[in-house]
Amino acid sequence: MSLFKRGNIWWVRFSTPSGQQIRKSAKTANKQLAQEYHDRLKAGYWRVSKLGEKPRRKWEEAVERWLIEKQGEKVTLVDDIGHLRRVHPHLYSRYLDEIDREVLDDLTQSRLSDGVSNATVNRMLEVVRAILRRAEREWDWLERTPHIRMMPEAKRRIRWLTREEARRLLSELPDHLAAMARFALATGLREANVVKLEWSQVDLDRRCAWIHADQAKARKAIPVPLNAEAIQVLRQQKGKHSTRVFTYKGKPVTKANNHAWRKALARAGIKDFRWHDLRHTWASWHVQQGTPLYVLQELGGWSDHEMVRRYAHLSVEHLAEYADKLSETRLDSTNLAQSPNWKEKKRQADRLTA
């Protein structure tokens, strides 16, 4: 029989022209709808086999393949999986060619109704777009990726601490978190790279450490020169664990941005500050001390120069001499009347400022 029941739900069963046995749930208790599903599914396999048409793929097939290919390749995969869980009720069982602009707009509105920010919605849409693009461009599963309308986002200002704020925060942190925060402020390393740092990645004699390519967000190894502050922190950790650098009560730390961190921020009177902002603070201090942006890019392991230009406004020394030129011109023009030949000098000043 081409239709059979399991409980109250109808299932379909047939053989494809190539001899493949197909058994799938029609997901309905209505026999007529189950028969329609059977006929459409069987016709699809026939068209693929006899007419050379491409098989239609479903969203969950694309998600499964994308996750397999991204495993070990993308540091933020855990975050992506979280977004995909939110997407699942909206796109599950849909064929890829059925995911059009209307479907995606409905998805966007549904997430906004949950009270999340535009930025959160955009991060979700970026994952959906990445999967659909790969289905089109690499797997040949889709003829064309639909246009995905992103939500407007306010440009977030760079949040960083002054030296005094940093001292205040460090004094409120538990010893193990204070050590990790000091090391982050000295090196600019991301939370995961600090938390998982191993002694095999550190050379105190050469005053350097390194982050392996598979640990770095940009998938490129990062050399980490160690300044005096970083060296002091590491020496204080020696002997606490045979493998990992940062520990708590003899066990490796698993997370820095935790309850103790948030309580210390409150005691220090510091608001709107995340652990990742320690990296922003490190970069901001570097720029304010005159570190060139191309050097900062290499130190921080950024692959995109635009990411580093976020800090450019914090350094104005290279513009000072040009600003002073205008200041000197105006100063001279205001004092011309007190000098000999002031009319001729005024004409020269006017030509300069015209």
Q: What angle do CA 149, 153, 154 make, to 5 degrees?
A: 160
Annotated catalytic residue, options 279, 280, 286, 310: 279
- Residue 230 has a CB neighbour count (10 Å cut-off) of 23
Annotated catalytic residue, options 38, 285, 302, 310: 302
Side chain identity, residue 39? D
Q: Which residue has the tokens 């935790």?
A: 258
Element (H, E) at 202: strand 202-203
Annotated catalytic residue, options 101, 262, 263, 276: 276
Annotated catalytic residue, options 190, 280, 286, 310: 190
Q: What is the DSSP letter of 181?
A: H
Q: Which residue has the tokens 């000043």?
A: 349
Identify which of 26, 57, 30 has the alpha carbon closest to the alpha carbon of residue 44.
57
Is 11 designated active site? no
DSSP three-state, residue 22: strand
Annotated catalytic residue, options 217, 241, 244, 345: 217
Is 322 designated active site? no
- Distances 281 to 160, 181, 191, 269, 300 between C-alpha atoms, Å: 4, 11, 13, 17, 12
Is 248 designated active site? no
Q: What is the DSSP letter of 29?
A: S
Is 57 designated active site? no
DSSP count for the chain of H helices, then E strands? 15, 8
Catalytic annotation, residues: 190, 217, 276, 279, 302, 311
